[in-house]
Structures are given as structure tokens and as C-alpha cells.
Chain A
Amino acid sequence: MTDLEIAKFFAGIFILLGAFLSLVTAFGLIRLPDVYTRNHAASKSATLGVMFVLLGTFIYFYFVENHFNSRLLLGIAFILLTSPVAGHLIGRAAYNSGVKPTDLTVQDDLATAKKTLAAMDQQK
């Protein structure tokens, strides 16, 4: 195998893995029962999937076309930083706007913490 074929092989592996992870995201969003579990699926596997695809694209352009594209690396770093933050924000917004978790939930620490805070406020 030549260098070109090896580069294409690794780029193909990364791209296929990333696309598969995006498909896993979609299945998670369809099948999981409530907002928080869906948010879990979306913010983790979609992030990793798109990072794999961008890494494969970067490898392709660097080794096959001899073109170092810094914007792809910047995009990988940016998505790694922002996508979990967006997931956190939307999960918090859902909780504060009163979306109930699924009935299978056994523990809700934030609700008990809020209750004790309210009780402490009443004592003052």
C-alpha cells in the first residue's frame, strides 16, 4: 500500500465511524423516554461523531490534497468546547421551565436541594 492509500484508509475509517455515531444520536433521540436522556444522547454522541468526521476530512485534505486546513482543526476545537455547553444550557432551561423527567427516574437531587433551600429561606 502506498502512503496515499493508507491516508485514505484512515480518513475513511474516521468518517464512517463519525457518520455511524450520528446515526446512533438519531436513534437515541427517537427511542429515549424524556428530554434529559435525549439531551444526554444528543450532546455526547453527536459531538464525538462530528469530531470524527472533521478529523477524517482533515486527514484527507492534508495527506491527499497536501492542503493544511486550520479551519477544520478550529472547528473540531470549537465544537468540542461549545456542544456540551449548549447541552447543559438547554437541560437547565428544561428543568427550570418545569419539564418533568420520566417516571422511571428514581433520584432527583436538584429538587431536594431546591426544597431544602426554600425551607432555609422560610426560617430566616
Chain B
Amino acid sequence: MAMLETAADTAHLADDEVQASAPHAVTGYCSFKLGAFELSRDEYFARITWPAKGQTRSHLIPVDAFLRAMMRDVAWGFFYGWVNFDQVIGTRNYYGKVDLYAGTFNGTLKAAGVNYTENFETPLIMATFKAILRDWTNATFDPFAAPEETGSAFGRKNGNNIEAIERSRIATKRMPGLKDDSPLRDDLPVNRQFIDVPQDEPEVHAAEGFEGELHAFNLFKYLSRSDVTWNPSVTSVCKASLFCPTTEEFILPVFHGNDRIEWFLQMSDEIIWDVGDKDDGNPRARITMRAGDICAMPADIRHQGYSTKRSMLMVWENATPNLPQRYESGELKPYPIEF
């Protein structure tokens, strides 16, 4: 979760308003209604239907990809801006309300008029998404993990994995390891793909009377023990400037279209980013980042990353609240620097 602690708190969940069916006689899964949307799953696919032009429209997503995307959207509290599950389905965060859309940010579907958007109160859509995750995630599958680390999402209903989808989010006020702040990760094991990362902590020599006022920790060690992939978590707070590093493996499960500029700094290994137009999805660039590379993601694009080896990425966010309006109004340009 890459927001200030206060920005993302969901006051309550509307659990009693979730519309779930009885379990399907064959697959064992419930289906869910959210406004005019219906969401269901079978052995292989998540299926989303919506009304447009007097017909019911539908879209299928492989259920493993769908659950990975939904896991991020839930864990991030709908994040900043647009979270595209794929080129058709996604959410847009209005920080208190959330749009669920189908085809609205796909150039072809929108031009054909077969797209649909509905706005929901955040507690209702969050409660429904959480109920879907709980029901559709089997005991064999961890939607926060890379494919090599977990089992299959496919098949009929087979238990659940509540522990994996209920991981508590890390909210850091100043810096991990400080008194009254988020903890370090000494209790978590080093990930198999970071087994060579040094685990020594910095030496802190505080003068008498200043014990506890000097603070340092091994960030690479901390990241080497991250038990999830693609999950920006705050490690330093300079007013609204948030360093949110994360460990990346396989594919970012969403195509993120931000409502503000963010920056990426590759801290180890390599990620390739597919960059497309935020509104219609047309490809714009393909960016390869290696250790030490830093670049901006402008406010008018969507991006999705690919990381073969688990890698360390610094995501740098500006959490100032009124930025979306300032970018949309044209007051701020979508890119950060002119030179």
C-alpha cells in the first residue's frame, strides 16, 4: 500500500450489502452482483457481464490473472487512479467512491458504444471484491505470490486461503524500525531469489544521551524478505514524498494508469515496462530498466511491468491529495520535466 496511512483507511465495509448467490452446484463457487455487473467464475475463467446497447455483454479473464489483479486492487485500497485488470475491465479510484468499468478505456469498445461504467461507494465495492477473493481463492493458490512460488488457481472449489489474502498492509509513518512505526522483517525468511543479498545491518553508534535518535536499517535485506510481489510499501516519508519499494517477479498483475506522475528507480536486476495510452490503451513505449535506472511514468499513460528474476523496485509517489484535478484540468503537464 503506497499511501499515507490516513489516506486509505476504509471506515467500514458494507459486508451486509454484498449480493452473493448460493454456491454453484457443479463448480462450487458463488457468483456476485455489483450494480448492473455480474461476476462469476468456473474452472478456468472469471466472467464479467454488463449491459450495453440493449444486450448483455461479457468478458472472460483467466482466473489466475483475475485473482492476482483483484488481490492488488483490494490490498492497495484501489490505489491511485486506474487499475486495469486487463484491456477491458478495471477500476478508477475517486478516494471515497470507485468506478468499475468494462471497455471504457479500450479505444475500440468505447467507439462501438459497448462499454459500461458504474460508480460505487468504496465500502460496497471493497466488501464485494473481498468476498469474491475469499470465495474464489482456493487453498492451493496465493494470489500475492509469483507463479513459481504457488500452486494452481484452476478447477472446482477446493478450500480457501484466507491467510494469504488477509495479509495486513504495511503503513509507515516515518521509517520502518523506529519506535511506534512499522516493523522490520527479521521474522520473515529471505526469498529464494534473494538468497545472495547481504543481511548485515548498518552500524549505529549513538553518543550517550542520543540512544534511539539515530536510525538506519538495511533496506536491501528488508526487501529480500518481502513475502509478496508487486506491492509498493512505504519505507520513508518526507512530507508527501513517499518511497514505496517492492519486490517484483513475473508480471505486474494490473496495467496501472496513474492520476498523477510517479517515478520508478530500479534497485536491482531488470524490469521491462509496457507503456500505453491511458485512455485507449494504444502502445506508446517499451522501457527496459536495469540497476540504477530511474524514470518517470507520466500521468497520461498506463504501464505494466515484466520481471524474470525477482527484482527490487523503488516506486516513488507524491501523495498530495488534489493532484488528479490539477492534472485533469491541464494546470499540470502529464510529464515532469521539459528540457
Q: Do A and B come from one complex?
A: no
Which residues of B are in contact with A by a Cβ distance under 8 Å? none
